[in-house]
Structure 1
């Protein structure tokens, strides 16, 4: 019976990481439903971009208050969970503060003191974020599209992080009091918990402090496993997916038109006076022609676009700078990514249920994203410039527009008129080419 704690710990550890791995595999499978795109060029630039944007948070601090607070939470939470290594070893082998034997007492004291300071910064960050999100009235955080689960999810993640940090302080404070009494070996330095909670705990018995320390330790461990598996259902997947998203980001100049090779070849063929329009296509040429132009559903998007949908932080920076949204149009770039993710998840559940995708009569276009939203976009790229993790909602809008124009001939009247003029007059204006210079006659 003396190993019952270690056995329970092992079971929870395996179950927690097993469920987390299962969730990641499901996300990977869903992303693979999109078509492949080659984004493995310019590797040194991609490494640099990922280090600067995902790890260095360079775009977050463009809005200093939110950026610095996010940096506190991000860096603090990640580094604090390095302690998970110590928790795993202690839980499996019944040791106490294992890393002290590895680091030595001096460096271990510096290490634990640093963790406490970072934990305090995390607490400050999540409290300010909670107040800011729920009581301060930041417009992009109070828009209708965040009502319901998105807002609850954001609040729950802040509450979970706060609770984990409180358990961390509680565990350290109880341990510190026991160390002062000589009941436990003097390992580590706890400047925050000893100052805030130390005086409170000093009046309790050794037995109660042992119970408190162990209870907080278990709460912290189970809380980390819960948080890890909650990510699958949360916008906070960006904690993990921001790194591949920035790696696979589009490094071309913003606004560069994405030409289709098949269309380019067709136009070159039409303009070649020596080309034989009746000649049989070269072997393998059919493979260059896409089965569908543009995107009607998530299967028509590329894998980076689907990765973007999962990586969206729902921060709304894209929507807050969107000129269409600012002027009252229905378009919200954030909502484009959220709806793409919702449709992707629906397709994933369909596959889970049937073993393969069974047509459900729905499409991303019209059932999730409306034509009104798509044509409201000015293609100004403000959304892609504003995104703190380099997501590209405009590329999804563009592909769905391409489908409407090239597959359904469903462009707005103004655009159809312009394309007719280009076809007939070689210019977007509705007058004959011979009259093009008449304006200069006088």
Structure 2
């Protein structure tokens, strides 16, 4: 029976055949222990000299790291294995012998590993991180599909900036200027006016020359947008979504979290509702914690966000930021024109902002005023203004950064390990 490692629990005490690579091995004279991987998981293959031909045993002893093979054996339960099963090998068919595999079971520098990212992905730790990422994506689709959202794909090439910043990758679109998208949000607002509740999931780009552990040049965003939904309703949706994703990872990635040595007790507590603190109170909080250099009207940096997060054991919303430091499309607080109806969701344990959202301006005249204040002229923004002209409604949305969320849930220090092939300030290879 040909199968995969992830499926072997179905075949206890049965003989199976698996296509695999050798991750590592050790030998104790008459027994060889092969650490095997096939992309779906890892399992130990035990080769006993007296149970196989001399040819097979010699192959088991001599096979090199990352050589590929078809391996046949009987699946048995093994309580000592994190996976819970092992294979008692009866035959090995070598497909290709790998020679001088560069990533050996020893310490390698980060730059070396990043240069060999195409191979580093095979390691047990990187495999676990990518499986957590995959589960977050799977749970995302389940959450929004179960709640009647429509998946809409915004363009990657755009004629304007969503955030009104200069951190854009410029390109030529035939005879016009174009930019790589830094957010699909404006287009998702248009989609929400057509479908009510929508979400997108796609790559975004920021030409920000940052080298921090929280930043990538190319990253993926989940961006829902909802018609007839106000700011407070949006916060409830955000905390329900994040809670659902975290609990899904806890349920479906137990082995991966164990591989990563993740303290799951901190994740088990991530359930809605989440605490909320206003920007005003957050400023006072960080000052009490010794950050005397920040003043009202300034944005929080990573140390400030960490200080705020340390006061809570769940993700925390910071709400109602000053109008001047937020995007042009955010709706002012009806009771205070100097702040907007927005929130950033700060992850615990120093992982920073993972979600940013707001209620959008739905008033045509106010949006025209914002256009003038931000010098948003020309045809590139005209269609967005028309959304307020034809059947405008209260609406809200948010964006979740996938890689930062993976880093937090997996307990990974740097976001470069949370995406298969990271694009960093000085890295476009491989």
TM-score by length of 1: 0.23
Q: Which has the higher contact order (CA 8 A, sep 6+)?
A: 1
TM-score (ref. length: structure 2):
0.24
Larger Rg: 1
User: By percentage of residues, which structure has more strand?
Assistant: 2
Tell me which protein shows more helix as a share of its residues. Answer: 1
